[in-house]
Structures are given as structure tokens and as C-alpha cells.
Structure 1
Amino acid sequence: MENNTIETKYNKLIIALSVIIPVAVAVLFGVNLRKMGFDVEPLSFLPPIYATINGITAAVLVFAVMAIKNGNRQLHELLMKVAIACSLAFLVMYVAYHMTSDTTYFGDANLNGVLEESEKEVLGSFRYVYYFILFTHILLSIAIIPLVLITYVKALAQRFDKHKKIAKITFPIWLYVAVTGVFVYIMISPYYAN
């Protein structure tokens, strides 16, 4: 009964965070402090850092799964907390970067903030590969929020049968989001203006 109470206690929070986080990111993504007249430096050093954090998240997730498969629940729990912390750090840095920097366009070789026809031609169909990876990364990064929270709460409530069941869905999606975050950075990094 107590385990159900723990889950019930967190259900509203999971729903709230699953809505609030993507909405807040979408709203803040459209806020550019420099364009609003604030005297802030672009945080142009952040993209390689948060891409690295995505890579670290992916590695930590793999090690966490290996730990639990080897019966090391304590290490698994620690690594999952590290993965959640990494994801939160990524999110904060990602939003901070976009609030202080101009939008970067994939393929904008002359860095003028416009993707011209000649630049599109150079990219060819590779542009659609980038957009597919970016679109699925963004879509699944929204979906992963409630999945991670539900999976975590199932473990917190010691409902390990249900935790394991949902973790089988959460893990590959979270891993995909982390890995594609690195790929998106690698693909767009030549086009950063600052």
C-alpha cells in the first residue's frame, strides 16, 4: 500500500514536469536576451560542453544497464542519478546558450544567418538526414521526460517489476536522445558563427 502511495504522490508532479519543462524550453528558446537589449555575451563555449554531456549521459546509461545486469543495484542507482543530473545540466546549458546566441542554421556556410539556395544545393539530400535526426531527437527528448520520471518513481517505490518493464522502453529512447544530441552537435558545429 505504501508503494502505491509513493507513486500516487509523484503522479501529479510527473504530469506537471512533463508539460512545464517542454513548454518552458520552447518559450525560453524564443527569448534572445541580446536582441531584447540586455548586455550579455553569447555563451558560444557551451555547445561543445553540452554535447559532451550528452555523450557522457549515453555512456553512463550503458554502464548503468551493465551494472544492474551484473546485480549491482547500488551502482545502477548511482549511475542513473548521474544520468539524470547530466540531462538536467544539458538542459540548463542548452537553454542558456539559445537565450544568449543567434540561431545557427545547418548548412549556413557563410554564417550570415540565412540558408541560401546555393548552400542548400551543396548539402543536397544530406540536409534531410540532419533534419530527420534533429526532429526525432527533439520529439523523443520531450517523450523521455515522463518516461524517466515514471521509471525513477517505480524504483523509488520499490516496484522493481514495473520499473524493469518501463525501463526497457525508457533506456533505448533516452540513449537515442543522448547519442543523437552528440550527432546533431557534430553536424551543425561548422556553422556556429561565434
Structure 2
Amino acid sequence: MSSMWLKSRKLLSVISAIIFLGIIFASVSQRIPVSKFYGDLTENTGSTYTRFNAEGLMDSIEMEEIIVASEEKINPAEDVRIVKVRNYLAKRRSPLSEFAHEFIKAADHYGIDYRIVAAISIVESGGGKKNFKPYNAWGWGKRGFNNWTDGIWKVSAGIAKYYSKGLKTPQLMARWYCPPNAEAWGRKVQGVMNVIGM
């Protein structure tokens, strides 16, 4: 009787250990979904906090003026960056592929890396295929945009705010753009940027 009790106890210990290891493995390997940025960027600069709100970046009238003013600066036939962005997005069947020239114009206007806004769209929504709100491929707040061009320009303006604070890489801005999953988000965006640039 006691040998059977001992065997049952050993079996119970082994089963418990397997279940425990399974729980540990599942929690470590669990994929955390990429969080959406809800429009707040807060940075501690000593004793004060600076707050940016994605909802109030620019109104549509200003954006249209910027787009028209930038038309003349880029010759799409000569810019290899447009081809790189378009080809990358087209391979992924992104509806944004036909707006590759807008990514470049906005990036040049705001002085940001031409790949970053396209790369964020891939990480956040598969390049605009799965949007939380209309034309919002970037997880940019709880809002939609008027069209893809409007979204590209407004998100580029927002990314320029990060740049103005010295946050010029996905890894540096990830802490504010995607706080719960910052490290993985930064790596993914940088990886997409690297492929676009090839």
C-alpha cells in the first residue's frame, strides 16, 4: 500500500512539474500584440513634462498647402527611393504602394527617414490592409484620416516631433509609440526599414 502511495506521489510530482514548465514556456513564448499609439507622447525633461497629441498635429488646410508646395521638389522618375518604397509595399499587396511618392515628399519636407512611415504601416496594419480606423495604417490614435495622403502627411509630421526630441530611430521612439511592446516594435520597424532600403 505504501509503495503504491509513493508511486502515486512521484507521478503527481512529475505531472505537476510538466504542467508548471508548460505554463512557464507558454508565458515566455506568448506573443504580445503590437499596441496602438493613442496620440499621447510624454517625455520627462527634468521637472516638467512635454506632451504631444496626435489629434492636433495639423489641420487639413495646412496639410494641403504643404503637399502642393512640395510637388515641385521631387521628380518621381529620378528618385530611386520611390521605387524602393513602392516595390516593397506592392510585394505585400499594400494599398499604400501607389502612394510611394507621398512618403518621399513628406519625409523630405519634415526631414525624416523616407522608410520609417511606410515601415510603421507594415508593422501596425500590414501596410494599410487592417486598419483600426479609416486610412489609419499607423495605429495613430483613435482616429481616421481623410485619405491615404492625409494620413501619410500627418503621421510624418508626428514622426518629425519625435525627431525634434532626438528620437530618430524606431528603437528610440518605440518607448512612446508602442510602450507595452517597445523593444519588439522597434526591432520590427527597423527590420522593415532595412529591407525597404535594400
Q: TM-score, normalised by structure 2?
A: 0.25
Q: Which has the larger radius of gyration?
A: 2
Q: TM-score, normalised by structure 1?
A: 0.26
**Which one has a larger percent helix, Structure 1 or Structure 2?**
1
Give the structure, 1 or 2, with the largest relative contact order (CA under 8 Å, sep 6 or more). 1
